[in-house]
């Protein structure tokens, strides 16, 4: 894959980072995780997370405490796992289709970066939070 780097088994992060324009501009990376659902089905989640240096001190301390690491050790994957991420896409696929779907997602990474505002503007939950809210940790 040219745009994704595998961190752990079936856990990936984009090789490149992307710029987002908010009240305070920031950089983000795309995280991709594959979760087993049952014997044959898997859920592939694609999300965007801020790079750790763009988080508030309170957010960094909370993530570090949650992961039992220092604030200097936080990675973008830790930020995503913690939940400070905007959902970009999700796919339910058969075991045999995981690699082909990951390849499609790999090719889609630059699009997620250039079209991030459209993805972040989408409502993410039933109470009206959008991706910007999730990225900034400002949930209703």
Q: Tell the burial category of 116 from Cβ atoms under 10 Å away from its Cβ (0-12, 13-18, 19+).
A: buried
- Nearest to residue 44, comparing CAs of 54, 56, 58, 30? 30
User: Comparing 92 with 131, which gets the higher pLDDT?
Assistant: 92
Report the relative pairing of strands 18-20 and 26-36 from DSSP bridges: antiparallel
What is the rounded distance in angstroms from the CA atom of residue 4 to the CA atom of residue 6? 7
> Within 13 Å, how many C-alpha atoms sit on residue 43's CB side?
8
Is the per-residue pLDDT at 98 higher than 80? yes
pLDDT (0 to 100) of residue 37: 95
Q: What is the mean pLDDT of the chain?
A: 93
pLDDT tens track for 36-58: 999 899 999 999 999 999 999 99
Mean pLDDT of 77-100: 94
Secondary structure (3-state) at 125: coil
Angle at 130 between CA 129 and CA 131, to 5 degrees: 130
pTM: 0.89
pLDDT (0 to 100) of residue 140: 59
pLDDT tens track for 99-139: 999 999 999 999 999 998 888 988 888 888 888 888 888 87
Is the per-residue pLDDT at 8 higher than 90? no
pLDDT (0 to 100) of residue 90: 95
Beta bridge partners of 114: none
User: Comparing 119 with 73, which gets the higher pLDDT?
Assistant: 73
pLDDT (0 to 100) of residue 127: 87
């Amino acid at each position: 894959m040219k745009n994704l780097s595998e961190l752990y088994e079936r856990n990936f992060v984009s090789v490149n980072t992307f710029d987002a324009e908010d009240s305070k501009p920031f950089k983000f990376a795309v995280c991709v995780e594959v979760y087993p659902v049952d014997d044959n089905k898997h859920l592939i989640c694609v999300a965007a997370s801020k790079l750790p240096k763009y988080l508030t001190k309170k957010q960094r301390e909370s993530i570090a405490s949650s992961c039992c690491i220092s604030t200097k050790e936080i990675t973008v994957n830790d930020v995503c796992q913690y939940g400070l991420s905007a959902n970009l896409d999700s796919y339910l696929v058969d075991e045999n289709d995981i690699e082909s779907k990951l390849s499609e997602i790999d090719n889609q990474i630059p699009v997620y970066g250039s079209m991030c505002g459209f993805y972040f503007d989408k409502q993410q939950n039933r109470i009206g939070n959008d991706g910007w809210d999730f990225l900034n940790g400002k949930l209703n």
